Amino acid sequence: MLRRTLQVTRPFRQFASSNRPGPSQAGPSRRRALPIAMAVGATLSGTAYLASPLLLDSTPSATLSPGIVSPPAPSIQDASVLELARSYLVYTLCSIPMLIDHSPTLLHTLTHSPIPGLKTLTESVVRGTFFAQFVAGESVAGCRESMERLRARGVGTMLNYSAEAEIGANFDAAVLEQARYEEVERALDEAGRFERDVEARGGMPGSTAFALKITGLIDPEILHRASTTLLRFRPLTMSNSPSSPNSPALPLVPYPGAPLDSDARIVAPTSTAQSDTALLSLKGDLASMGVLDTDEGLRKGDLEALSALWTKLRALGQRAQKNGVKLLIDAEHSWYQPSLDAYTLLLSEEFNKPPTDGSKWRGPLIYGTYQSYLTRQPAYLLTAIRHAETHGYALGVKLVRGAYFVQERQKWKDEGREGPDPIWPDKPSTDLAFNTSVSTLISTLAAQLAGPRPDLALTVFFGTHNEDSVSRVIGEMKTHGLVGAGYDGRLRIRNDVLGKVFIAQLYGMKDELMDIVVDAFEPSAMPIAMKYIAYGKLSEVMPFLGRRAIENKSLMSGDAGAAAERRRIINELKRRFL
């Protein structure tokens, strides 16, 4: 277990303290207060706008400094009874598979019903429950209070604009894409102001990131067609390995493959290459990459759209760089990944190198997302590490397990593609891929920091709700000397490792794991714990909430999911009332 592995002092491990009244001290009225509070709170939480999840009632303190201070109390102790009741209700609903599976359809039906007042009532209930639990605000400025409170606890933030168009909705795609682009610009500016405020208070900048969903900036079908063309085009290049001639051979990266520098011809064509008829005529199947002869490649006009997208992405990279905000490229369905990987590679080569103008270098700006449920993941990660080392830039990694396995498996089967689908056959295989990658990344980081170019050492975000995985990350850091013994049994991060390793969970979930990460290390001006914060207007994020509920059903299932969250809430209420 993680708590035994870390061997750190956690004053909040036992809710029963010496100051807690024993059974003889807790009168009948206090025992009766627990179910009464739960019933009243659950009712009110369905309609009242409770603007924050469990940790948001805490009083902000000064930015954590490297000095020796006591760890903050567990975040759940900051929640009001109504917030606890709200969370209990949400986690109870998340435990009903039928409700989760049909949530997008249900939300659409209720919000488009001709019954007067039903739309308003539905939005009010969602705002007071799921929105309040999993969404920090309607804008980055609206998330500012949550970001401040998290930072005061020693937790950084990874922002995600979670607006999505409803399926079947009538909208002007170009207008919507431009609106999303402008929102990302505003978000990067607001996040930059937050970073500068943190630095002005004595904190280290660099613990704020923005997760970019590229499919929101262009018609996703263009990316799909471009990805198909990329898979057909790559075998025509000199080699599928970005290593130097004297480097050891790397394993072949399975579908959806690995990006090459030559991908720029498709995803970032120059003005003279936008009429490249040779690319438009690429046809044929490619069994090794799951490509069917009937899969559509680039259409006329796609290259112009891809070039315009590249211009936007470079502009966002420059804006993120100016504001000191890390830019994480979200992973999406595998049929988009060849294009997304190509853009990530091009952005990394441009923005993940030390500046030549003498300005301060804070490590990689661009981060790719590596999904461990894809069978390509171990080989792809090794290829990415080799490419960065060979081409002189710092690799940025966000390592996750992945969320699209149901759709991936079904699509592969329905379309009759050759060979096994691109997903590992079971969860233990995915866990093994994730844990192996943890070891690869930490050992590589240690070697790079000890090598001739420590300034080009990689930086990694580990996105996980799994205690064993968190334990592995910290254990690997200890094994490779990235942390040492600190005071009170806690760990002290080496100065050159600060800002190189982050451990993240979704906002509104697994706050106990966040607390454990925070408490495992000595307080520092640079957090290691992170929260992935979704934001957007209620009407915009309703489709996101329904989709995210389905994607995270596996996280909520089992004894360590929603049931564990409910147990935490019950234990906290017992601590207060019994």
- pLDDT on residue 242: 40
What the block records as the tokens of 537 is 């207007």
Residue-wise pLDDT for 334-376, tens only, equals: 999 999 999 999 999 999 999 988 888 999 999 999 999 999 9
pLDDT in the model for residue 332: 93
What stretches of 218-276 adopt beta strand conformation (E)?
none
Strand partners, 119: none
Burial track 343-377 (b if 16+ CB lie within 10 A, e otherwise):
bbbbbbbbbbbeeeeeeeebbbbbbbbbbbbbbbb
Cβ contact 465:513 at 8 Å: yes
- Distance (Å, rounded) from C-alpha 248 to C-alpha 250? 6
* Low-confidence stretches of the chain (pLDDT beneath 50): 1-69, 238-246
Distance CA 366, CA 345 (A): 9
Q: What is the pTM of this model?
A: 0.85
What amino acid occupies position 283?
K
Give residue 165's pLDDT. Answer: 62
Quick one: tokens of 225?
A: 């067609």
**Residue 57, CA distances (Å) to 53, 60, 126, 150, 507 in order:** 9, 9, 21, 11, 15
Sequence-separated (6 or more) residues with CB below 8 Å from residue 221: none
Q: Which residue has the tokens 């709200």?
A: 86
For residue 429, what pLDDT is reported?
96
Q: What is the pLDDT of residue 105?
A: 86
Planar angle of CA 498, 500, 504, nearest 5 degrees: 105
Q: Are 327 and 316 in contact (CB under 8 A)?
A: yes
CB 500 within 8 A of CB 457: yes
**Tokens encoding 101:** 């599976």
Instruction: Kindly state the DSSP code that residue 138 receives in the 8-state scheme.
Output: S
Q: Which helix (H) or strand (E) holds 178?
A: helix 173-200
CA pair distance 406, 396, nearest whole angstrom: 27
DSSP state of 336: T
Predicted local distance difference test score (pLDDT) of residue 169: 58
